[in-house]
Each structure stands twice: as C-alpha cells, then as structure tokens.
Amino acid sequence: MISKKMEELGKKPSAIREIFEYSNKRKKEIGAQNVFDFSLGNPNIPAPAEVNETIIKLINERESIDLHGYTSGPGDLNTRTVIANNIKKRFNFEVDFTNIYMTCGAAASLEISLKALCNRGDEVIVLAPYFPEYKVFIENADAKAIEVKCRENDLGIDVSAVKKAITDKTKAIIVNSPNNPSGVVFSKNDIKDLISVLNQYSNRDSGPIYFICDEPYREIVYGNIEVTYVPNLYNETIVCYSYSKSLSLPGERIGYIMVSPLCKNSSDIFAAVCGAGRASGYVCAPSLMQYVVSKCDGLLPDIKKYADNRNLIYNSLTEIGFDVIRPDGAFYLFMKSPIKDAKEFCETAKKFELLLVPSDSFGIEGYVRIAYCVSYEQIEKSIPAFKLLYKEYYK
Ligand code: PLP
C-alpha cells in the first residue's frame, strides 16, 4: 500500500495547471497570439546578462569536478558569507553565514522552515489570499493552516482578525509581501501592528510565534514603495528568500533561509533547519547556482517592463470600470469578480479568450488573479476582450 495522502496530493487537479492545459489546447486551435493567457506567474523578463556571463566564466575558470561537486549541507561557505554581508549592507541588519541556509528556492525554504518549527497539531496562520502551496507545506509538517482573511477594502493585514485566530497552538504566521496573488505590499503600519500583537505572546510557555517572511518578490516593487525588513522589527523571524523572480531564475531552484540571530534560540532553530533540510533530502542546493548568486551579489532586476505592464493593465481595467486592487509589487493584479462565483466569471472570460485564475485557489472568494508577466503587446491586444467581458455584466 502506498501513501494515500501523497497519491491524493499528486492526483489533485491544480486550477492553474488546468488553465495551462486549456491554454495550450486553445493556442493550437486559434493561434498563440489570439489567446490572452494571464494565468502563470513565470517571469517574462530574461535573467540579467551578468547571470549568463557568470555561468560561462565559472565553467571556463573552474575545474568541473569542483564546480559541480557537493557543497556542505547548508551551502557554500563563501556564498553564505556574501549573502550575510548583503543583508547587513542593504538592511543594516547584523547577521553572519551561520544563520544562512541555501535552498532550492522559496518553496524549499518554506517547506524546511515549517518542518523545523512545527510539531504535530501546531497551527500556522496564513493570510488569505495566499500562495496555495502553503497549505501543502504546512500539512506536510503535521501542522494545520489557519486562514485569516485580509481586509476587504484594500487586502491589507486584518490585525484584529489575526489576534482572534491565535491560540496556544499557534506556532507561526506566514507573511508574503509583495503578495502573490494580490500584488499588495503590506504597509509598515500593518506590519508594526501585527508585531505588537505577536509580542504579546513572546513569553508563552509554548514559545513565541514565529514570523515567516516569504519574499520571492522583494525586489519587484514600483515607485517609492518600501518593503519592510521584518527582522529589524521582530526578533523571532525567519526569512524565506528566492532568486526565482528577482533574477528570473525559477527553473534553477536557488534561494536561502535566514534564521534571525535575534531569535531566542537561534542556533537551535538553525540546527532544526539543517535537520529538516536533511530529512527532506534538501541538502546542498545546486552548487553552480550558489556560486552564480554569490558572484552576482547586489545585482537587481530591471523591472521597467513589469512596471509598464502594471500601469497599462491597471489603468485600462480601471477605465473600463472593473474594481481592481492597485498592485504595488510582484506581477499580479487582483480584480473583483462582478459575480460572487469567480469560477463562473473565469469561464465567461474564456469566451473572449481571457485566461484568468479564480481566487478560490488562493483561499478567498470573489476575485480573479491576472498575472501580467506577459508581453506588453498581449496586454494591449487583450483590452478589447476585457471590454467585451465587462459588457457581459454591465450592459
Ligand atoms: N512563495 C510565493 C508567494 C510564490 O509566488 C512562489 C512561486 O511562485 C513561491 C513561494 C515559490 O518560489 P520558488 O520558485 O522560489 O520555489
């Protein structure tokens, strides 16, 4: 008998996967240029040239046996040191390599961190709308996801709702800012208010509530928006970082965990991270990519294309009359469905070849996610289709 739990997970249809398959079918039928697929969060800006140049340089300069060999379990010491120094420089936060664990991207960072922190029956708060894999990782750590809805009007953090959801079993809260799927960057005030609630639990017998920052979109923000660096404000913090979106390297699987040295038992938590990484088979993140990110230290993406896309889609949909949440970061826009049933709305959108993701996949009803990491031309071409979609509901 194999694991029923895993079999079910493997067979469970993912809404985004289904749209992806529908999109491929439609593209074959009517031509790719006539399908407006806004379903996938795959960066469409290429990785900076420096990344490829660094890969070539490393291949030419280093012995293959050394370049492609194992690093230590938590990662290459030099890479971890470079990352710690980068954090010091950028955020004025004191940390060294002993607190950095290299991972296969944010997914692995989250999976490892949750496994390191949680015991059977613990609860982890997630703010809806949220990245659907959180539930999978939390349940895999034998814990339970507790959903707390964001504020209705702006999808900021509803701190009083979080407070109500806290129990003796609350082990952690996952906060993702800039947010997938809403594109919202949580304000410093929201973060501070949340922290003042978490601080009330810092001396519990069952231990503090950990703040898990899921930050694959940290660098993708528009205008003068600040993404609060939580370790500067709250001691019990673990940062799950990834280069997937910031350097457009989602297939290379590279990121890191930073366990704040200010956590009460930071070195024990780091040991638990090493243990969880080991137990999950997540030791030694891809070596070549570890060297690449250390050589490309400080490299930031050119997000002008995303910014142009954001302005075009936000302004166009607002002009048409749709109710949208203004995205300050990531490459997603959240739009209110004119009817309660967002799935039905997405089915209607398909009539106009618009492929959108219903918010039910992200833990709340009544919205759709539009991933605008597509070509500017696709957005331009899709606007008449959005107009027709609007007319279906508001004649
Ligand atoms: N967290 C969020 C909010 C995401 O949107 C994603 C990927 O889309 C991940 C984590 C996983 O990122 P990675 O590709 O680095 O594993």
**What band does 315 get if pLDDT is binned at 50, 70 and 90?**
very high
Of the candidates 121, 171, 124, the one whose C-alpha atom is nearest the C-alpha of residue 142 is 121
**What band does 301 get if pLDDT is binned at 50, 70 and 90?**
confident
Per-residue pLDDT tens over the stretch 221-267: 999 999 999 999 999 999 999 999 999 999 999 999 999 999 999 99
Of the candidates 6, 80, 67, the one whose C-alpha atom is nearest the C-alpha of residue 273 is 80
pLDDT of residue 201: 95
Q: What is the DSSP annotation of 294-306?
A: HHTTT-----HHH
For residues 359, 360, 366, 372, the Cα torsion angle rounded to the nearest 10 degrees is 10
- Ligand 1 atom having least distance to the Cα of 255: 15
Return the SS3 of 354: strand
Of the candidates 377, 376, 358, 354, the one whose C-alpha atom is nearest the C-alpha of residue 367 is 358
pLDDT of residue 89: 97
pLDDT of residue 16: 86
Q: Please answer whether residues 9 and 136 qualify as being in contact, where contact means their C-beta atoms are separated by less than 8 angstroms.
A: yes
Ligand 1 mean position, distance from CA 392 (Å): 34
Ligand 1 pocket mutation pick from 17, 110, 131, 179 by most atoms within 8 angstroms of CB: 131
Q: What is the DSSP annotation of 82-151?
A: HHHHHHHHHH-----GGGEEEESHHHHHHHHHHHHH--TT-EEEEEES--THHHHHHHHTT-EEEEEEPP
Percent of the chain at pLDDT exceeding 90: 95
Overall pTM surpassing 0.85 (yes/no): yes
pLDDT of residue 14: 82
**What band does 65 get if pLDDT is binned at 50, 70 and 90?**
confident
With tokens 């609350």, the residue in question is: 170
Give the DSSP letter of residue 177: S
Which token pair is 274?
């090493």
- Ligand 1 atom having least distance to the Cα of 214: 1
Q: Is the per-residue pLDDT at 395 higher than 80?
A: no
Q: Is the N-terminal amide bond of 178 cis, ω within 30° of 0?
A: yes
Question: What are the CA-CA distances from residue 126 to residues 174, 243, 325, 368 (Å)?
Answer: 5, 22, 20, 19
Atom 8 in ligand 1: residue holding the nearest Cα: 41
Provide the mean pLDDT of the chain. Answer: 96
Per-residue pLDDT tens over the stretch 108-139: 999 999 999 999 999 999 999 999 999 999 99
**What band does 186 get if pLDDT is binned at 50, 70 and 90?**
very high
Return the SS3 of 2: coil
Query: Which residues approach ligand 1 with their CB closer than 6 A?
Result: 41, 105-107, 131, 176, 180, 214, 216, 242, 244, 250, 255
Of the candidates 68, 47, 56, 75, the one whose C-alpha atom is nearest the C-alpha of residue 247 is 47
pLDDT of residue 134: 98
Amino acid identity, position 4: K
Q: Is the per-residue pLDDT at 34 higher than 90?
A: yes
Question: What are the CA-CA distances from residue 269 to residues 100, 168, 173, 255, 369 (Å)?
Answer: 12, 20, 16, 18, 35
pLDDT of residue 43: 94
Per-residue pLDDT tens over the stretch 79-113: 999 999 999 999 999 999 999 999 999 999 999 99
Cα first-last separation, the chain: 56
Which token pair is 233?
């404000």
Instruction: Determine the average pLDDT of the residues in 155-167.
Output: 98
pLDDT of residue 394: 87
Could you tell me what percentage of the chain is helix, strand and coil, using 3-state DSSP and rounding each to the nearest 5? 45, 15, 40
Q: Is the per-residue pLDDT at 319 higher than 90?
A: yes
pLDDT of residue 17: 84
pLDDT of residue 9: 93
Ligand 1 mean position, distance from CA 107 (Å): 6
H or E element, residue 47: none
Ligand 1 pocket mutation pick from 114, 218, 239, 242 by most atoms within 8 angstroms of CB: 242
Q: Is the per-residue pLDDT at 29 higher than 90?
A: yes
